[in-house]
Chains A and B, each alone.
Chain A
Amino acid sequence: MIHVENLTKNFGPVAAVTDVSFEVEKNEIVGLLGNNGAGKTTLMRMLTTYLPASSGVAKVAGFDVMTQSQEVRKRIGYLPESIPLYPEMRVSEYLDYRAKLKGVDRRQRPSRIDYCLEKCRIREVQRRLLGTLSKGYRQRVGLADALVGDPALLILDEPTDGLDPGQKQETLGLLRELGQSHTIMLSSHLLTEVEALVDRVLIMRRGFLGLSKRITELETDPIIVIEARGPHDAMRNLLRSAEGIHTLGFQPLDDGIALFEVRAVGDKDLREVLASKLMKAGYSLRRLDIRRRTLLDRWNEINTMEPVPMSSSTDTVDPTAVSPATT
């Protein structure tokens, strides 16, 4: 549905988005994460054809956002970050106007608008002026506007921002429901909510794409944490000799205890192998643990690393490049 290749955007000397590549499949829900100013909004604006890229290619539903922007615009629904609305219009008037602009057929229009009013739970405010709505209601009107043309791709810039907890739940529930028949790309700061909702995560940092993975792939490359007592060098060599070790991190703790962080090649669980090796050699084991990396770990890894350009166009990122904890 979305195909992005080496996309770059510079505003004069400011590199807002640098060399970003990823791929999103049909009916996938994608979470775009990143600090403020990481380039999320700029990336979304390029995908919605509002801003052109400085270089690189972006395609939505097979249409180039630069050269076939009208075709792209017919297929997207966009919720901008600040939800700009015309204050003098009423909610239902606004949706009617947007539906006409997006070419919703005359006969289907009332039922389509009704659907959006119901789904976004704004039926009760449909006669209110847009200028008098609170932040949460503006957000929902913006979402209804994005939905009204029944687009294949929804691009939502922080759709849950400014909503109260109940509304957040409702909106996420709605997005999950829509995700069965729509492709959705949303940006957010709320890692836990994104983790529960999305199929794929993109994490941006300072314009670079740090991570692009399916959420099911996130828990791969577990880290085995071992604390053992003994001569440090001997233990290190012993662990290193085990089969399937990818990287080995080492840190001496107090009173002769050594902390090891082991990462295996692939998704192997090496806990038992490593433990029996140490025990056989006579070293006492104080802690044996496996840490499956959560989205928060990934987030922290990416946001503490040196900004290295990720030029690979595949959607898996070499794990060694983003691991500060290993040596």
Chain B
Amino acid sequence: MASNTAPEKQDERISQTPYAPSQIGEQAPSVMREDDLAFPRAVGTISGAVVLFGGMALAMNLYGYNRVIDTGWSLVVLVLGLAGLLYHSAFDRDIQFRRLYMTFGLASLLLGVVLAFASFFKGYEQTLPWSIPLLMLGVMFFLCFRRNETDEKVRDTVQYIVGGAGVTLGLAGLLPAILYETFFLPTGFVLSIAGLFLLAAYVGASGTSDDRAYTVSLGTAAGGVLVFLLVLIRSLFTANGSTFFVGTGFPMLLVSLGYVLVGLGLALDWPLFVLTRRELAAFFLSPVAYMSLLAFSLFAWISFLFFVTRFQNRVIPEPVLAIYIIDLFPVFVLIFVVPVLTMRLLSEEQRSGTLEVLLTAPVDEPVVVLSKFIAGLLTYLIVWLPFALILLAIPAAGGKLFDYRPMSSFFIALVATGAMFISMGLFCSSLSSSQISSGVLTFVGMLLLTFVYFIVNQSGRELSVILRHISYLHTWSSALEGRVVLRELLFPLSATVLFLFMTVKVLESRKWR
């Protein structure tokens, strides 16, 4: 399919050897049929109609004509229709359709960029929220188009447009924010994240064996480093630097760090990066990540409902975030999700024997363990995203903004304690080649760590001082009050190092058994 000439060449060469292969050339093991396009096309047709309907309903709502279908439902209909169109565009290779979707994707991409920039000007701030879905839609249609397009010239041109848009958005989001600190949240943040997505889509579409994509990827990382340094200089060496850091600087540091990590992560082929990419892919190519995301979304939603009804018509005291997070549901899901995320990591490799293939390639055991840990931690953080998104709904429901700044300190605590959970799970996973037993071990570990919270309140003074350091819920609650206490992060971080060290030793133990 990919090449019709190459197998014939091979035949000529091999037939000189005594073992002459069959003269037929390589054959696929099964007869390959062209994809049956009837179903995607039907979906596409219906979705097109649905999109038109939803779009019209939405437009009428915006101008206040419609009372039958309200804004919420028309958005739901629109999203469903667009999902159907994406499905069609991923499968239909027909030139008319793929070019149609290309135009559609480009249009929504450009509109997204225009709206994002329009929000700079006074009176047009409302356009920013609309640019995000448009940009995402553009990227998705681009990826579908990239998959089906056969004309290299067209494909490359569209790809450059996507990359160019990424660079523009990234620059526009990050650079002005260094000078105007109020710019970054939310406009600069949204622009720079969208830019990063576009850049990643550009690099991912052609792979880093392509020189241009490789350069873009390294350039992304370099840009991130530059912004990181600029933010540091601005925070440390200028007047009112510390206020800049708390409001704008810290999130900017995180975003620029994201640029560095994504840029390097895509470009470099160090074993650590290669393995981390594979582990991340393994999470998202299997149902594990999606099931965890679903669980977290569901419980975030239930938790939100409870939260809203509990405090209906009452004033919620600050810290609002602490009351929202330290609750039965988030902790409950967490105890289950951590074992689900980590039980596969090493157990599966031991059971299926892929560990042997992995450890006879030129990689060290510490690199293998570290890559699995990083991938697990990243997935763990991604799984928390639904909670972060629902936080946006709280001010909408309450009609009032709450103090969102503790999110920064909570993020730090979440990473530190998450590192402890994931490394514990990884260690349990290294102990057994059965996923179930390593999952159960991790589950017990999570239960113990959670119960410490209750023991603290029951025990005597001396003991409770010690146990407070172990209880992650105490760490969280002090972080949610806006404090970053280094000595409270010390226990999770040192536990992480210990667990990772022990995991490496378990892997190496096959050498002295």
Contact = CB atoms under 8 A, between A and B. Distances in A.
Contacts of A80: 353, 356-357
A45 B286 CA distance: 30
A125 B27 CA distance: 9
Interface string B1-20: 11100110010011001111
Given A85-B354, A137-B29, A169-B19, A109 B362 contact: no
Contacts of B360: 48-50, 73, 76, 78
B288 to A, nearest CB: 10
Interface string A37-58: 0000000010011111000000
Given A121-B26, A166-B22, A173 B362 contact: no
Interface string A73-110: 11010101010111011000000111011110011011
Q: For chain B, give the interface size range.
A: 35 or more
B10 A118 contact: yes
B214 interface: yes
B363 interface: yes
A89 B19 CA distance: 32
A100 B10 contact: no
A110 B6 contact: no
A237 interface: no
Contact of A176 (B19, B353, B354): B19
Contacts of A49: 359-360
A82 B353 contact: yes
A34 B214 CA distance: 49
Contacts of B363: 73, 101
Given A74-B362, A97-B278, A173 B2 contact: no
Contacts of A166: 21-22
B209 A109 contact: yes
Given A106-B208, A119-B10, A121-B26, A73 B18 contact: no
B481 to A, nearest CB: 42
13 contacts: A73-B360, A73-B361, A73-B362, A85-B354, A96-B207, A98-B361, A106-B209, A118-B10, A123-B3, A124-B1, A126-B2, A137-B29, A173-B17
Given A107-B209, A118-B6, 16 more contacts: A48-B360, A49-B360, A50-B359, A86-B282, A88-B282, A89-B285, A97-B274, A101-B362, A106-B269, A118-B10, A123-B26, A124-B1, A124-B27, A166-B21, A173-B14, A174-B14
Interface of A: 11, 45, 48-52, 70, 73-74, 76, 78, 80, 82, 84-86, 88-89, 96-98, 100-103, 106-107, 109-110, 118-119, 121, 123-126, 133-134, 137, 145, 166, 169-170, 172-174, 176-177, 196
Interface of B: 1-3, 6-7, 10, 13-14, 17-22, 26-29, 32, 207-209, 211, 214, 269, 271, 274-275, 277-278, 281-282, 285-286, 352-354, 356-357, 359-364, 510-513
